[in-house]
Structure 1
């Protein structure tokens, strides 16, 4: 098959736009999935349209039909992430916050209780210190497990500083345990009323989108989504000073391998908007990677991330940003905090999505953009073509895996650390440089540098340098881009027409 038809996710009221202050968290979550899908499958024409919940169905269907027709004519949405409100089409952009002014004091009341769910992990303990340093004297830290050695040491330190700290074992994703936790707070005569809360609970279960099952989605989503919902409904009407939801930039940038996690965080972002509309001072902080603490500190390769221009946040800097956001809440209910050199990111990835156009200039055009393939090897004799491809592949593997370019041609990619997510990134980079559509299982079907160079030399020779959008080389176990589009449509619960 050739290029599959555009796949457009349609939601209604997923985002707070213009005169629509509230968002629907259930409709927002699939946007997180699709952002990751767009990163993992950059040869697919993906987009999302959010319809106006204030207009009747007939008007919305007419606007939607026009959007889909335009996408079909163009081979994909002109603006991948749009919201229709009235007669206006809004496009999503990530913009930089204005420079911080003089530091303002965060309102932390000694006579109030502060609840932190996920409070016994590394980030929760740092937040507990942050609150005590600013005057909190009553803390409740809740976690699914009993406090470990590190947590017990921090609890003792905080109590020595004059705070009363209570550790509760509770899974707030379970409605009964969440209700029991809040009831225990209310029943404790030594604890004053709850003045603020922060929801940090989360679980990672990373994998390529094609590998994620409903069970893996539930595992990653429940602690964040159900836990935040229960906490908001139990505490939202109590006149809190703040309700902070720890979200992630994965929901905005579409971190490959984290479709389930991105969906959970997109839900949190929309929930913060919904709560704001209800009068609750909610804030979703879309964190980048933290240094020294948090799930990303263990799960991510800092050297590889730095090659893409992303650097970990020192905890002191992250908490200073949190203090600023709490003291002067932004107009939007969600704000991203991350360290990125956008110029480095643009050079590493070759292009940046329109979402980031306000933050970075596009990289200087390299050979292959809008013209001949960047790897113009088709005219070379077969043996020279294979050598050139091997050299190119060494550089790409070095970027993708964060290893030296001195790679043994016979060494298996798996032993170099290539997992399912990295294999997709490698395939995406290679097919962009060659101007060819390649199969999703490319790196698994040809698992060494020598094997992959041989295969690509044959593909390029047989294809004669086709333009992007032609049929993928080889059928493969996953059925090429068309199969990827069908599986993605099934993940999102939508139909996919085969006639465009």
Structure 2
């Protein structure tokens, strides 16, 4: 992270708003509320509890895992009862997470429900209202800022991955992420207040002492080997998720590098393809043991490690590739979907660490994802889960243990992308993110392992930066990538894409007779891009979005594109409520932009009157003249639509 600065500024008395604060038990929320109230702001504090009830005026308690209680809170603080509009939501609950060294796996899993789970339910509730408050998520010691090896509060780190997805799916609700100093300071509440009030361009911030830091991804060249990777022939290497395609690619690479003893884990027996690969590895001289179990279950991983220790050579390396997908937009996500994806990445990583931390490992590698770095629409759970793994590797390194987290891009074979529907694969491939062939991925893994002392976390992502810049600028602040994009020396148009939307300029300068047609064709072009189809395959304007092959994630992307390009806030369900290009175009034209249709105008009525006035003359003309006149009138009408 880089240092930044912010100037102290009071909130204007003319900008009094309602702030909803999810209150911690350490006093930050109450101090923040007091400062806000001194400046004329209204505050409602919400504490975690067992059941919804009002504690006092402006103070509530609820069960974070019950959606109906969030809806009850929403009714209580609605415009009917609050004098001021809700404009800010500050999530401080993660300040209550236990220190990493004191955590149990039960506490870790529970904290995800009242941490990330509460954000999901909060969003689902807010999206049912007419409010569009900015959501700010605040953690403490959850990000690696100092060059010193800080022991991160790993239980809070998934919120950073989830937050990046919120910024993509619902940019109109996005404020940002702030990480407080691990050690509480006297000035932090005032500094936090200034960030919440002043920050409009930055959404990845951290406070350390009196300094404010901003996060940037930086480009790193592929490191030169500090030592050649040569694996021990008398050591054992464990691959979780080892029966999947990516795990098997990794197993083949390990054998090529000298591994003679492999343990591959999975929840189910090997497929026919996996069994064939295992036989090939054994024919190459390696001994492969398949141990079935769920690594998110403590007794399963305990048995796996015990079997290795009692019947195989010393465990020398762990590569954690296990993972599951359960994609859904945040608006549709259930806590069950969320927890299913979190389990192998959170509890699984925790168990692997617990049962191997005293062993002489040469490496402990986590296969993470680009989703936790940049966010991925429809994968809030997956981004959160991988963000935990990323941070946990930093935590291991602070303990002097080996650790490397690799945020992989899209694999051509064997990656999670293979499990996505074809339309979502197309969207990824047209977003500027390139493919990683298995041999390329293994080459990168070898280089990183050969120089793993240089970094804890690295992204391996083939990128077309100009394309990616446009995709990201369609939806969020893009502060994390700003330095990378500038160093790529992209044209200013790419860096400032949509700062002055071209379509909005066209619409505002177009004549009334042209405007509605321009908007409809623009929406049709955006639908084509969302579907990932060819520009020559233009969909019918009266065909339903779902009939075209859209799903809920795609409707969110369409909404985000249009609201950014038009500079107007659209509801999260706008493409469901107006489910064709024509209906959506008419709604945006009249209700959102406030323009009057030419069909409603006096000009059009005048033209219709002109047609009526010509009716007596029609009786005197020939059939050919009548047809020519009819075509002329139709062309004039079409030009006005």
Q: Report if TM-score (shorter chain) is over 0.5.
A: yes
Q: Say which one has the larger Rg.
A: 2
Instruction: Decide which moves more: 452-461 or 142-151.
Output: 452-461
Question: Which residue is 2:138 aligned to?
Answer: 10
Quick check: 1:215 aligned with 2:345?
no
Name stretches of at least 5 consecutive residues in structure 1 with no aligned partner.
465-500
How big is the shift at 1:99?
A: 4.2
3-state SS of the aligned residue for 1:65?
helix
Instruction: Decide which moves more: 260-269 or 385-394.
Output: 385-394
| Alignment partner of 2:528 out of 382, 387, 398 | 398
Is the contact made by 1:368 and 1:374 (CA closer than 8 Å) also made in structure 2? no
Note the alpha carbon deviations across 1:359-387, whole angstroms, 9 max, x for none.
21365347962588635425656653221
Question: Which residue is 1:158 aligned to?
Answer: 281
Question: Which residue is 1:141 aligned to?
Answer: 264
1:173-192 aligned at under 5 Å gives the runs: 173-188=296-311, 191-192=312-313
Instruction: Decide which moves more: 162-171 or 76-85.
Output: 76-85
3-state SS of the aligned residue for 1:305?
helix
- CA 1:293–1:266: 2 relative to 1, 3 Å: same
Quick check: 1:252 aligned with 2:373?
yes
Q: Name the CA distance, whole Å, in 2 between partners of 1:205 and 1:299.
A: 10
Q: Name the CA distance, whole Å, in 1 between partners of 2:359 and 2:139.
A: 32
TM-score (norm 1): 0.86
3-state SS of the aligned residue for 2:459?
strand
Q: Name the CA distance, whole Å, in 1 between partners of 2:498 and 2:364.
A: 48
Is the contact made by 1:172 and 1:178 (CA closer than 8 Å) also made in structure 2? yes
Question: Which residue is 1:31 aligned to?
Answer: 160
1:329-408 aligned at under 5 Å gives the runs: 329=452, 331-350=454-473, 353-361=478-486, 364-365=492-493, 369-370=499-500, 374=504, 376-378=506-508, 380=510, 384-405=514-535, 406-408=538-540
Q: Name the CA distance, whole Å, in 1 between partners of 2:408 and 2:497.
A: 35
- Report how many aligned residue pairs link the two structures: 456
How big is the shift at 1:97?
A: 0.8
| Alignment partner of 2:447 out of 312, 324, 334 | 324
TM-score (norm 2): 0.68
Q: Name the CA distance, whole Å, in 2 between partners of 1:461 and 1:278.
A: 57
- CA 1:155–1:371: 2 relative to 1, 3 Å: closer
Question: Which residue is 2:390 aligned to?
Answer: 269
Question: Which residue is 2:170 aligned to?
Answer: 41
How big is the shift at 1:460?
A: 4.7
Note the alpha carbon deviations across 1:296-329, whole angstroms, 9 max, x for none.
1231644322322111111111111111110101
Is the contact made by 1:6 and 1:77 (CA closer than 8 Å) also made in structure 2? no
Is the contact made by 1:71 and 1:78 (CA closer than 8 Å) also made in structure 2? no
Question: Which residue is 1:440 aligned to?
Answer: 572
How big is the shift at 1:87?
A: 2.2
Question: Which residue is 1:468 aligned to?
Answer: none
Q: Name the CA distance, whole Å, in 1 between partners of 2:180 and 2:555.
A: 35
Question: Which residue is 2:246 aligned to?
Answer: 123
How big is the shift at 1:5?
A: 4.2
The higher relative CO (CA closer than 8 Å, separation ≥ 6) is in: 1
- CA 1:258–1:397: 2 relative to 1, 3 Å: same
Is the contact made by 2:472 and 2:478 (CA closer than 8 Å) also made in structure 1? no
| Alignment partner of 2:582 out of 450, 454, 466 | 450
Q: Name the CA distance, whole Å, in 1 between partners of 2:592 and 2:509.
A: 9
Q: Name the CA distance, whole Å, in 2 between partners of 1:216 and 1:193.
A: 37
Note the alpha carbon deviations across 1:339-364, whole angstroms, 9 max, x for none.
11111212344466111112213653
Question: Which residue is 1:483 aligned to?
Answer: none
Q: Name the CA distance, whole Å, in 2 between partners of 1:368 and 1:100.
A: 36
| Alignment partner of 1:289 out of 410, 417, 424 | 410
How big is the shift at 1:411?
A: 1.4
Note the alpha carbon deviations across 1:409-455, whole angstroms, 9 max, x for none.
12111122211211111111111111111111111011111111121
Is the contact made by 1:288 and 1:339 (CA closer than 8 Å) also made in structure 2? yes
Quick check: 1:71 aligned with 2:196?
yes
Quick check: 1:430 aligned with 2:559?
no
- CA 1:430–1:184: 2 relative to 1, 3 Å: same
Q: Name the CA distance, whole Å, in 2 between partners of 1:70 and 1:321.
A: 38
Quick check: 1:204 aligned with 2:325?
yes
How big is the shift at 1:280?
A: 1.5
Q: Name the CA distance, whole Å, in 2 between partners of 1:269 and 1:253.
A: 13
Is the contact made by 1:137 and 1:164 (CA closer than 8 Å) also made in structure 2? yes
Q: Name the CA distance, whole Å, in 1 between partners of 2:354 and 2:498.
A: 53
Is the contact made by 1:373 and 1:435 (CA closer than 8 Å) also made in structure 2? no
- CA 1:460–1:228: 2 relative to 1, 3 Å: closer
Question: Which residue is 1:471 aligned to?
Answer: none
3-state SS of the aligned residue for 1:177?
helix
3-state SS of the aligned residue for 1:155?
helix
Is the contact made by 1:251 and 1:265 (CA closer than 8 Å) also made in structure 2? yes
Is the contact made by 1:273 and 1:332 (CA closer than 8 Å) also made in structure 2? no
- CA 1:411–1:87: 2 relative to 1, 3 Å: same
Q: Name the CA distance, whole Å, in 2 between partners of 1:64 and 1:252.
A: 27
Quick check: 1:314 aligned with 2:437?
yes
How big is the shift at 1:199?
A: 1.1
Q: Name the CA distance, whole Å, in 1 between partners of 2:346 and 2:316.
A: 22
Q: Name the CA distance, whole Å, in 2 between partners of 1:389 and 1:12.
A: 46
3-state SS of the aligned residue for 2:589?
helix
3-state SS of the aligned residue for 1:210?
coil
Is the contact made by 1:179 and 1:234 (CA closer than 8 Å) also made in structure 2? yes
How big is the shift at 1:463?
A: 6.2
